[in-house]
Amino acid sequence: MEDQKAKICTICHTELIGQYCHECGQKVTHKKLSLSTVLSDMMANIWSMEGTVLATMIHLIKDPFKVINNYWLGNRNYYHSPGKLVFYCLFIAGLHFAFLGNTILGMKLTVTNNMSPQIGFLLFFFPLLLIASYVTYFRRGYSFLKHFVAVIYIFSCWSIIFIIFDDLVRWLFGNILGKIPLLLFPIVLFVWIARIFSKRKKWSMILLNAMLNLLVYIVVTTIIVVALYFISPQSVRRT
């Protein structure tokens, strides 16, 4: 009786062929419940999550268009979704603030009654980066939502890398890098965004598009700051 039950999927009641149900994907291990199996499953899941995150980030570094286009096409589960990368990014940032204080990438974040320039930079950097990306590569015909997905992927991936790298260097050697990571971070973002949206994948064209994207970012930021100044001069002066 137990053998007969084991051949039927407990989720969708499909007859099993091998370890995996071909309908719902459930894996049947036939393991008896014990402390060792519970602990081994927990450890396997932890290493599996870390492995897939690391694999997704490696692929984003090597070939960002392939990973992001795969998501655009509606394919899931092989690479981590942008939402999961955001989660891991926030988790790494949370660990940083919990154990290493409020200085990140050489930038000290202070919470006061008025918004500090550093907080303002963090709040507005991503949306301005997204707008600049869309404006720069508008002729390529990608929707704003596709730019949103691409920028989230690139921003989250490189945020994780920069935070971990900067923290390790500061822990081992002290503040020898200063604000260099903070200066390099946006440059890397512009270059990797250019790798996604550049029609020609030659590095000369990628770097040229990255510089154009930076210029557009500066123009967009200037326009918004000037507009805010005329709308509410006091709020701009505070920041």
Whose CA is closest to 224, among 114, 119, 150, 127? 127
pLDDT in tens, the chain (239 residues): 444 445 787 778 888 777 777 777 677 776 665 667 666 665 555 555 555 788 899 999 999 999 999 999 988 778 888 888 998 999 998 888 888 888 888 777 765 555 455 555 667 889 999 999 999 999 999 999 999 999 999 999 999 999 999 999 988 998 898 889 989 999 999 999 999 999 988 999 999 999 999 999 999 999 988 887 777 655 555 55
CA triple 75-79-84, angle to 5 deg = 105
For 25, residues 6+ apart whose C-beta sits below 8 A from its C-beta are none
Is 109 within 8 Å of 118 (Cβ atoms)? yes
CA triple 170-175-180, angle to 5 deg = 100
